[in-house]
Chains A and B, each alone.
Chain A
Amino acid sequence: MATIATRAKSILANQQALLLIVLLVMVAFFTSRNHIFFSNAVFGNIISDWAPIVLIAIGETFVIISGGIDLSVGSTVAISGVVAAFAMRSLTTNGTSPTTTLILGVLVSAGVGFLVGAINAFLITKTNVVPFIATLVTMGAGSGLAIVFTGGGPIGGGPDQAIQLSVPKVGPFSYPGLGIVAIVVALGLFLHKARFGRYTYAIGSNEFAARAAGINTKRHLAKIYILSGILAGLSGYYYYLRLGCGAPTSGLGGELQAIAAVVIGGAALSGGEGRISGTVLGALILTTVTSGLIIINVAANWKQVVVAILIAAAVLLQEARTKGSSSKFLANLFTKKK
Chain B
Amino acid sequence: MSTALYEVKNISKSYGSVVALSDVSLKIHAGEVIGLVGDNGAGKSTLVKVLSGAHQQSEGTVILEGVERKWESPHDALVAGVETLYQDSGLAPHLSVSANVFLGRERYTKGIFGKMGFLAQKEMDAVAHENLEKVGIAVPQSSRSVSQLSGGQRQAVAIGRAVSWASKVIILDEPTNHLGARQAGEVLAVIKAAKERGLGVIFISHTLPHVLQVTDRIVVLRLGKIVADAPTSTFDAESLLGTITGLID
Contacts and interface: CB of A to CB of B under 8 A. Distances in A.
Interface of A: 189-190, 193-196, 198, 201-202, 204-206, 208-215, 272-273, 325
A209 B118 contact: no
A277 B86 CA distance: 35
B118 A206 contact: no
B75 A194 contact: no
A205 B74 contact: no
B117 A202 contact: no
Given A194-B119, A195-B119, A208 B90 contact: yes
B92 interface: yes
Interface of B: 54, 73-75, 78-79, 84, 86, 89-95, 99-100, 103-106, 108, 116-119, 121, 148
A201 B95 contact: yes
B103 A215 contact: yes
A44 B145 CA distance: 39
A194 B91 CA distance: 19
A139 B229 CA distance: 59
A260 to B, nearest CB: 22
A209 B94 contact: no
By Cβ-Cβ distance, the 10 closest A-B pairs, closest first, are A213-B104, A272-B94, A214-B75, A205-B92, A195-B117, A205-B94, A214-B104, A213-B103, A209-B90, A194-B117
A212 B86 contact: yes
Main secondary structure on B side of the interface with A: loop
B104 A201 contact: no
A15 to B, nearest CB: 14
A287 B84 CA distance: 49
A209 B119 contact: no
Contacts of B119: 193-195, 198
B92 A206 contact: yes
Given A198-B99, A214-B104, 20 more contacts: A193-B121, A195-B106, A195-B118, A195-B119, A201-B94, A201-B95, A202-B95, A205-B93, A205-B94, A205-B95, A206-B90, A208-B86, A208-B90, A209-B92, A209-B103, A212-B90, A213-B90, A213-B104, A214-B79, A272-B95
A194 B118 contact: yes
Contact of A194 (B54, B84, B103, B116): B116
A194 B115 CA distance: 10
Contacts of B74: 211-212, 214
A272 B92 contact: yes
A211 B95 CA distance: 15
Nearest to A209: B90
A215 B106 CA distance: 11
A128 B1 CA distance: 49
Contact of B106 (A189, A198, A201, A325): A198
A201 B118 contact: no
Contacts of A206: 90-93
A206 B154 CA distance: 14
A104 to B, nearest CB: 27
Contacts of B95: 198, 201-202, 205, 272
B129 to A, nearest CB: 18
Contacts of A214: 73-75, 78-79, 104-105
Contacts of B105: 213-214
Contacts of A208: 86, 90
22 contacts: A193-B118, A195-B106, A195-B119, A198-B119, A201-B92, A201-B94, A201-B95, A202-B92, A202-B99, A204-B94, A205-B93, A205-B94, A206-B90, A212-B54, A212-B74, A213-B90, A213-B104, A214-B75, A215-B103, A272-B93, A273-B94, A325-B148
B103 A202 contact: yes
Nearest to B76: A214
Contacts of A198: 95, 99, 103, 106, 119
A266 to B, nearest CB: 13
A198 B117 CA distance: 10
Contacts of A201: 92, 94-95, 99
